[in-house]
Amino acid sequence: MAKPKIGVVGIPGKWSTEALADAVEAATGFRLVIDMAEVCAELDSGRLVYREHDLTRLDGIVVKKISEEYSPHVLDRLEMLRQLQRAGVRVFSKVERIIRLIDRLSCTLSLYNADIPMPPTRITESAAIAADTVTAFGSAVFKPLYSTKARGMTLIDADQDPQQLWQQIEAFRVDNPVMYIQKKLALPGRDLGMVFLDGEYLGSYARVGKSGTWNTTIRSGGHYEGYQADEALVTLARKAQAIFGLDFTTVDVAETEQGPVVFEVSAFGGFRGAKEGMGIDVPSRYVAYILEELDV
């Protein structure tokens, strides 16, 4: 039986994309990294074309990263991938499941509606309401609806000159007319990435923040460590990820004095955190799962 041809949608040259493509090539002998910026959807023919490749002729596509940065434009790229599903190509994870996680508000509402504990959150277009929210929260994190790795997030404290508070809100609102505001919680200097493959829990890693920073992202100087999550945390994360049914994902969880909270469920999950924090080769495991799903 011929080995399947599986393409990787991602960012050419980026570590996680290339690591996944390496794992696909090692298992199948086929390698194709697809940059969505160069893809053409031929609606009349039903083809999705990348350079000389008709992607509808592939056996599977695994989406590692749809864009370098999130924006509403990313939704258009995902819609293009529906061409593959219509043609019978298996997409990991299914397009309609990824779409629910690209918009932060969509993800948040799904989690809230399933009674998943989250930080107190407000959504508004009003600067006055945003200012009142900061006052009520004491300290608030303003998050773009489309972002990854804390890009564009702004911490605004109530304990400052009112004019400066308004200036910060207005500066954020320039690019974010719909403001997503969460209460800043006291965290123990870390938050957790809890990793799932086909709903199976693989383990957890901690993102440990650099001293003096308010967030724990690697971009802000943080680093990964291993973490042994207790059963209650695993149960919470499993419930959160099950809402979306992704083939692979990471659930971002934080421990607080009031109990654990979920920040988000990732549309694509983190390979590097699993490798550096847990010592797990997720790309190889993911590809093995994909081959099982394709029944080869």
Q: What is the pLDDT of residue 215?
A: 60
Q: What is the pLDDT of residue 187?
A: 82
pLDDT block averages, 10 residues each, the chain of length 296: 91 95 98 97 95 97 90 89 94 94 93 96 97 96 85 91 94 95 88 96 88 59 86 97 97 92 91 91 97 89
- Helices then strands (H, E): number in the chain? 9, 16
Q: Are 104 and 263 in contact (CB under 8 A)?
A: no
Q: What is the pLDDT of residue 171?
A: 96
Q: Indicate left, alpha or beta for 83 from its phi (over 0: left) and psi (-120 to 50: alpha).
A: alpha
Q: Are 253 and 261 in contact (CB under 8 A)?
A: yes
Q: Is the dihedral of CA 215, 220, 221, 227 positive or negative?
A: positive
Q: What is the pLDDT of residue 73?
A: 85
Q: What is the pLDDT of residue 130?
A: 97
Question: Which phi and psi angles does 268 have, rounded to 5°?
Answer: -130, -25
> What are the chain's domains?
6-92 (3.40.50.20), 105-116+186-286 (3.30.470.20), 121-183 (3.30.1490.20)
